[in-house]
């Protein structure tokens, strides 16, 4: 184990930031089709990337708009909501909200565990 020098602390803190850089790319690949293109030319590739970035922007705006009411809203949640809303399925707003609450209830312990683990490792103290 390396001694906890300021340089080591900075390296550990920088490594934790990597998650926040990679996460939007994962969301774009998994929820918006970033990695699923089969373009034969630059024009088709640019059109596909433009649509993907537009979808990612839409999801980001929805997350920011609803961050106080639905703090755990994720891109996967938005994609699930759109699957129910866009085709015009016969589902009530109450049922959609209930499904989101179930997803968030399942996700909360995992998030809390990750924060506790970071605090135990001293990584959160480096940010302050």
Residue 1: per-residue pLDDT: 53
User: Measured between alpha carbons, how far is 13 from 18 in angstroms, rounded to an integer?
Assistant: 9
Q: Is the dihedral of CA 100, 66, 59, 28 positive or negative?
A: negative
Instruction: Give mean pLDDT, residues 12-16.
Output: 79
How far CA 62 is from CA of 71, 72, 98, in Å, comes to 11, 12, 18
Q: What is the mean pLDDT of residues 97-126?
A: 82
Give the rounded percent of residues in the chain with a pLDDT score beyond 70.
89
Quickly state the pLDDT bin for 84 (edges 50, 70, 90). confident
Residue 1 lies in a domain: no
Both tokens of 16, joined, read 């934790």
| pLDDT tens digits along 39-60 | 788 898 889 889 999 999 999 9
Does the residue 16 lie in any domain? yes
**Does residue 100 sit within a domain?**
yes
Q: Which domain holds residue 57?
A: 6-127
Per-residue confidence (pLDDT) for residue 4, from 0 to 100: 62
| Cα–Cα distance for residue pair 60/22, rounded to 1 Å | 15
Query: Is residue 13 over pLDDT 90?
Result: no
Domain assignment present for residue 104? The answer is yes
Domain count for the chain: 1
Q: Say which residue, 62 or 16, is predicted with more confidence.
A: 62
pLDDT digits (tens, 9 = 90+) for 86-110: 876 677 888 888 988 998 999 899 8
Assigned domain for 64 exists:
yes
């Amino acid at each position: 184990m390396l001694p906890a020098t300021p340089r080591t602390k900075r390296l550990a803190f920088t490594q934790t930031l990597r998650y926040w850089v990679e996460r939007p790319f994962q969301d774009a690949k998994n929820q918006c089709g970033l990695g699923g293109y089969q373009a034969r030319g630059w024009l088709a590739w640019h059109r596909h990337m433009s649509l993907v970035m537009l979808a990612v922007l839409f999801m980001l705006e929805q997350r920011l708009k609803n961050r106080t009411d639905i703090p755990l809203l994720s891109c996967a949640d938005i994609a699930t909501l759109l699957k129910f809303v866009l085709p015009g399925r016969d589902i009530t707003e109450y049922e959609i909200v209930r499904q989101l609450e179930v997803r968030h209830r399942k996700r909360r312990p995992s998030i809390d565990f990750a924060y506790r683990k970071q605090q135990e490792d001293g990584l959160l103290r480096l940010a302050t």
